[in-house]
Structure 1
Amino acid sequence: MQILTVQELQDWARQTPAALLLDVREPWEVALARIDVPGLAGVHMPMGDIPSDLQRLDPEQPIAVYCHHGVRSLQVVAFLARHGFDVVYNLAGGIDAWSREIDPSVPRY
């Protein structure tokens, strides 16, 4: 299991061309707060939609997955890895860690 801390995410984005930041939270959570990282394309796909929407993701594209605290994203990373995604990372602490440690303007909930 590959893990990125919130401190590592920005450097990873600069070093990883064409990477994707995958938000697996529910729509109501996305309405409250989101992460924008220069250099990363952002996609929202709730965790429950991943199995049916898997074809929307490119197994060759590096992906960093996040949720609220990192639990759902950890499960999604494991699922993606089992389905042939080799370069996939869990964002440790999720958007809550991002808000606490990187950008306090991102609302906590």
Structure 2
Amino acid sequence: MSEWKELEPEKLLELLAGGKIEPEQVIDVRESFEWDYYHLETSRLIPMNTIPYSLGTISDDKPLYIVCAHGVRSVAVCNYLAEQGYSSLHNVTGGMAAIASLQGFQYD
């Protein structure tokens, strides 16, 4: 089984600001109502419960950055994708709550 790594939200924002990550590489696994509340423009929404049905749309040729609200669902998705043979997976620690805080937005 492939392993995945933890990534601090500051590093994700730095990679995005530097143009080192393409939008399809950041996968937000929250539900659509959570996405509507707050999300990164440079991410794509694939709710956790739809991941198994979405594997054909998730490329494994570049690193993937998985984010949820607080970092719990994203761990589960990283584990699942690793079991499916995906490599270069990164769980964004603290999730969108941590990212929002860094951007001056009160998430919770």
Q: Same fold (TM over 0.5)?
A: yes
Deviates more, 1:4-13 or 1:57-66: 4-13
**Aligned: 1:27 with 2:32:** yes
Counterpart amino acid of residue 51 in structure 1: P
CA deviation profile, 1:41-98 (whole Å, cap 9, x unmatched): 5210000000011110011121100000000001101111111211110000000011
Change in 2 beyond 3 A, CA 1:22/1:60: same
Partner SS, residue 64 of structure 1: strand
> For the Cα contact (< 8 Å) 2:6–2:93, is it kept in 1?
yes
Partner of 1:76: 77
Once the two structures are superposed, the pairs formed by residues 26-45 of structure 1 within 5 Å of their partners are 26-36=31-41, 41-45=42-46
Q: 2:6 aligns with which of 3, 7, 10?
A: 3
- The TM-score normalised by the length of structure 1 is 0.84
Q: CA RMSD in A?
A: 1.7
Q: Unaligned stretches of 5+ in structure 1?
A: none
Task: State the distance in 2 between where 1:86 and 1:73 align.
Answer: 15
Question: Post-superposition, which runs of at least 4 consecutive aligned residues in structure 1 deviate over 6 A?
Answer: none
Q: Percent identity?
A: 26
Counterpart amino acid of residue 104 in structure 1: G
Change in 2 beyond 3 A, CA 1:88/1:30: same
Task: State the distance in 2 between where 1:74 and 1:90 align.
Answer: 6
